[in-house]
């Protein structure tokens, strides 16, 4: 079975391609690096020829308006149209848990546009919402040095390892499209301020962290429901403490990429 992974050279995409190939799929990593541009449509027809499934893990190069909205609208429209033309049987789109609750953020407004386009498409589909990635917890640390206080929301989060997201996406490739939303989350909830302070300590950043409910997250104010999954989420296996041990030992690298996602993927 041919599976095209749009954004296949990114954090999740590269992992997903490797897993699919290990399971016997013909997995194609479609990205600008391989001559496929989902925004302009360059290379899409050729990449999707004969494809059974498309997995969209692309992400915008800019999170500012209007660029982020233009990216998700153009990319999704072209990818869905190309999939319909190629007769693909399944379209999976990776999004973010809490997207509909984060509409004060331009990034998440753009993600909702993407989800709406997928939902209204004629291509059989599943929308997969992931919680924040472990790999991007470091990106939430405000810049600075010294002893000034760092104010962060104490809202609950339930982040997940990118490796686990790739595993679960590979599982979903083998299941019929649900025409619904499937959530993916890590095994444990944490207070955002506590989790980020944990990462700061690993960087030997000893600035005091203050729990502040008025502190924004990508221009949105959080509560305990905003970034946490529902009762029927698929729960990943890796615990943050184990993942961070791997980072500290050098077997895991935290990428220094600005990303509000969790879902973070670089396409």
Mean pLDDT rounded to a whole number for the chain: 91
**Does residue 264 form part of some domain?**
no
Position 267 pLDDT exceeds 90: no
pTM of this structure? 0.91
Residues 6+ apart with CB under 8 A from 74: 38, 39
Indicate the pLDDT class of residue 80, thresholds 50, 70 and 90: very high
Q: How many CB atoms lie within 10 A of CB 53?
A: 23
**Does residue 263 form part of some domain?**
no
Indicate the pLDDT class of residue 253, thresholds 50, 70 and 90: low
CATH number at 184 reads 3.40.50.720
The DSSP letter of residue 160 is B
Report angle CA 124, 129, 135 to the nearest 5 degrees: 135
Q: Residue 252: its pLDDT value, please?
A: 54
In angstroms, the CA 19 to CA 156 distance is 30
Q: Residue 86: its pLDDT value, please?
A: 97
What is the mean predicted confidence (pLDDT) over 18-29?
A: 98
Position 165 pLDDT exceeds 70: yes
Closest residue by Cα to residue 228 from 163, 155, 165: 155
Which two three-digit tokens encode residue 210?
A: 């203050």
Q: Which of 5-14, 116-125, 202-211 has the lowest mean pLDDT?
A: 202-211
Indicate the pLDDT class of residue 261, thresholds 50, 70 and 90: very low
Position 259 pLDDT exceeds 60: no
Position 93 pLDDT exceeds 70: yes
> Which range marks the domain in which residue 135 is found?
2-249
**Does residue 259 form part of some domain?**
no
**Does residue 256 form part of some domain?**
no
Q: What's the number of domains the chain is made of?
A: 1
CB contact at 8 A, 73 and 111: no
Q: Per-residue pLDDT tens for 95-115?
A: 999 999 999 999 999 999 999
**Does residue 87 form part of some domain?**
yes
Position 230 pLDDT exceeds 80: yes
Residues 6+ apart with CB under 8 A from 164: 184, 186, 236, 237, 238
**Does residue 267 form part of some domain?**
no
Q: Residue 142: its pLDDT value, please?
A: 82
Give the CA count within 13 Å in the CB-facing half-sphere of 87: 2
Q: Which of 108-122, 218-232, 250-264 has the lowest mean pLDDT?
A: 250-264
Position 201 pLDDT exceeds 50: yes
Q: Residue 250: its pLDDT value, please?
A: 66
**Does residue 260 form part of some domain?**
no
Indicate the pLDDT class of residue 40, thresholds 50, 70 and 90: very high
Closest residue by Cα to residue 169 from 3, 2, 26, 1: 3
**Does residue 254 form part of some domain?**
no
The answer to whether the Cα torsion of 144, 149, 131, 92 is positive or negative is negative
């Amino acid at each position: 079975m041919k599976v095209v992974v749009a954004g296949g050279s990114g954090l999740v995409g590269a992992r997903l391609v490797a897993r699919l190939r290990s399971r016997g799929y013909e997995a194609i990593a479609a990205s600008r690096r391989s001559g496929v541009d989902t925004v302009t449509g360059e290379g899409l027809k050729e990449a999707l020829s004969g494809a059974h499934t498309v997995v969209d893990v692309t992400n915008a190069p800019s999170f500012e308006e209007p660029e982020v909205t233009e990216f998700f609208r153009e990319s999704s429209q072209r990818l869905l149209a190309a999939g319909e033309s190629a007769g693909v049987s399944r379209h999976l789109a990776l999004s973010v848990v809490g997207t509909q609750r984060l509409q004060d953020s331009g990034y998440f407004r753009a993600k909702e546009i993407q989800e709406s386009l997928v939902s209204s498409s004629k291509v059989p589909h599943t929308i997969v919402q992931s919680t924040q990635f472990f790999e991007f917890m470091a990106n939430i640390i405000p810049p600075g040095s010294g002893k000034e206080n760092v104010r962060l929301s104490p809202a609950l989060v339930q982040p997940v390892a990118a490796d686990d997201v790739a595993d679960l996406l590979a599982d979903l490739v083998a299941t019929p499209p649900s025409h619904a939303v499937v959530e993916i989350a890590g095994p444990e909830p944490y207070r955002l301020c506590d989790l980020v302070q944990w990462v700061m300590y690993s960087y030997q950043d000893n600035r005091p962290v203050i729990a502040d409910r008025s502190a924004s997250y990508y221009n949105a104010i959080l509560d305990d429901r905003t970034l946490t999954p529902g009762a029927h989420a698929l729960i990943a296996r890796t615990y943050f403490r184990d993942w961070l041990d791997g980072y500290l030992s050098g077997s895991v690298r935290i990428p220094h990429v600005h990303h509000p996602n969790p879902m973070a993927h670089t396409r």
